[in-house]
Amino acid sequence: MSKNSRIPFIVCSLVLFSSWVQAESKWITETHKIYSIHYDSVDKQNVKEYKAFIDSGILTVQAFFGGSFKSRFEVNIHPNRKSLDTQWQTDWKMPDFKSECWMVASGVAGKLDMISPKRWDTESCEHKYADKIKTQQLITHELVHAYHGQFNASPDFSDVTGIDWFVEGLATYASGQSDSASLAEVRKAVSENKFPAELDKFWTGKLRYGFSGSMVLFIDKKFGRAKIIELLKFNNKKDLLAALSISEEELLNEWKEYISRHTVSL
Ligand SMILES: [Zn+2]
């Protein structure tokens, strides 16, 4: 047999193998008290661990807001980035959408989508599954979005104006991602006068989690948790600031002063 005559056999074998793999891949659904989890059969061994993260995240979210989720939601565990991208392309009606390498999950009122966390190490550029605290915080972050969406005028956040900083800041703060390391970075940036001059810029750049999370932390400390809960329903910046009876300029100044003043711990 010449070298070349073997190629069709190899190609054919690959086709057969890939169709066998596809035939093996099957989505499974499990129904739990307030959510249903859908996963590919390749994650059968992992789903118990994932459910523990979700259950713990639900407790954190409900304790933070002092209330329960209003309605059931779905959790989709995608076996790879391609599967997640296909989902987002459909959901967001953006057929050409390609996710950035740091994106691994999303959350809205009715559902969470995430790449199978054990594959974050290979399918993402920023997240390590083995860092259990950060993995938990990330899953809790998405659950905060789901809770927030259930009380928001725009449950999937598709119709929001100027509140990216609040949506992301709330999920960052309530999930514990505004930790001392993150706040130290924000404080340093503020001391060097390198911080956004307007709320619309908070959820941009390398420190977007830090800036947005620290702003919601400040609102929580100044106005209280009941006010945070009252803000969940607003889908635009004007209504949100009106509910706080504060101008954007005053809020920014007071946030800056608070961040600078609290030099030890927040
Ligand atoms: Zn988020």
* Contact assessment for residue 115 and residue 42, using Cβ atoms and an 8 Å cutoff: no
Q: Given a cut of 50, is residue 82 above it in pLDDT?
A: yes
| pLDDT confidence of residue 22 | 47
Mean pLDDT across the stretch 144-160?
98
Ligand 1 center to 5 CA (angstroms): 53
- Token code pair at residue 94: 């953006």
Residue of higher predicted confidence among 98 and 265: 98
Ligand 1 center to 244 CA (angstroms): 23
Ligand 1 center to 140 CA (angstroms): 10
Ligand 1 center to 20 CA (angstroms): 37
Which pLDDT band holds residue 262 (cuts at 50, 70, 90)? confident
135 residue type, one letter: T
Ligand 1 center to 102 CA (angstroms): 12
Ligand 1 center to 205 CA (angstroms): 14
Mean pLDDT across the stretch 225-253?
98
| pLDDT confidence of residue 139 | 98
What does residue 163 show for φ and ψ, rounded to 5 degrees?
-120, 20
Q: How far is the C-alpha of 217 from the C-alpha of 240, rounded, in Å? A: 15
73 residue type, one letter: F
Q: Given a cut of 60, is residue 3 above it in pLDDT?
A: no
> How many CA atoms within 13 Å lie on the side-chain side of 165?
27
Which residue, 250, 192, 187, is CA-closest to 222?
250
Ligand 1 center to 144 CA (angstroms): 8
What does residue 230 show for φ and ψ, rounded to 5 degrees?
-65, -30
Ligand 1 center to 43 CA (angstroms): 24
Ligand 1 center to 155 CA (angstroms): 14
Q: Given a cut of 60, is residue 23 above it in pLDDT?
A: no
222-236 per-position pLDDT tens digit: 999 999 999 999 999
Which residue, 248, 170, 265, is CA-closest to 209?
170
53-68 per-position pLDDT tens digit: 999 999 999 999 999 9
Q: Which CATH number fits domain 25-151: 1.10.10.10, 1.10.390.10, 1.20.140.10, 3.65.10.10?
A: 1.10.390.10
Parts of the chain belonging to CATH 1.10.390.10: 25-151
Q: How far is the C-alpha of 254 from the C-alpha of 234, rounded, in Å? A: 22
| pLDDT confidence of residue 266 | 47
Ligand 1 center to 136 CA (angstroms): 14
Ligand 1 center to 61 CA (angstroms): 14
Locate the DSSP E strands across 79-133.
105-108, 111-115
Q: Which residues pair with 27 in a beta bridge?
A: 40
What does residue 127 show for φ and ψ, rounded to 5 degrees?
-110, 140
Q: Which residues pair with 65 in a beta bridge?
A: none
Ligand 1 center to 108 CA (angstroms): 10
Ligand 1 center to 114 CA (angstroms): 12
The label of the residue with tokens 């249903």 reads: 36
Q: Given a cut of 50, is residue 108 above it in pLDDT?
A: yes
Predicted model pTM: 0.89
Mean per-residue pLDDT of the chain = 91
| Maximal C-alpha separation, the chain | 83
Ligand 1 center to 19 CA (angstroms): 36
Ligand 1 center to 139 CA (angstroms): 10
Least confident of 5-9, 73-77, 105-109: 5-9
- Token code pair at residue 42: 């390749």
Ligand 1 center to 209 CA (angstroms): 9
Mean pLDDT across the stretch 130-147?
97
Q: Given a cut of 80, is residue 32 above it in pLDDT?
A: yes
Ligand 1 center to 100 CA (angstroms): 14
